[in-house]
Amino acid sequence: MDLKYFEHVAKRGFFRPVAVVTFQQAVAMVAEAMRYARSIELTELLVNTNGLTGFASPDVFARYEMVGQWVPSAGAALKVAMVVRLEIMDPQKIGVVMAQNRGIAAEVFTSESAAIAWLDAIPSAGSTRP
């Protein structure tokens, strides 16, 4: 993984890749960032995909495959906030529903500020935040 797009502060990681990729490549990049975050024992990960271009909004089958890769990569302990372009977000957030049904704390947003607010609002395991 190209670490120039990854940073972390305390137990929160930030992955902000910039590239022209296929949807499958984007999914693989995010899965790798999730695995890396877990390997350095982070509990939260904000993924901003706004810098990834080259693909259209995925259909429900592609979202299902995406979640299938991301769930084992994130594991149950990593909270994941995704930031996507509005045209990429599914109105019913079907990917989030699929991930949550598999035990992952995940949500999708169109801004980093909203994603950070969500991460701040939900205590992580071992957190002393109220």
Q: What are the sequence ranges of the domains in the chain?
A: 3-121
pLDDT tens for the chain, 130 residues long, are: 678 999 999 999 999 999 999 999 999 999 999 999 999 999 999 999 999 999 999 999 999 999 999 999 999 899 999 999 999 999 999 999 999 999 999 999 999 999 999 999 977 554 444 4
Cα angle 22-102-115, degrees, rounded to a multiple of 5: 65
Distance in angstroms (rounded) separating the CA atoms of residues 77 and 123: 11
The structure's pTM equals 0.90
Q: Which pLDDT score is estimated for 128?
A: 45
The CATH number that domain 3-121 falls under is: 3.30.750.24
For residues 73 and 67, the answer to whether their CB atoms sit within 8 Å is no
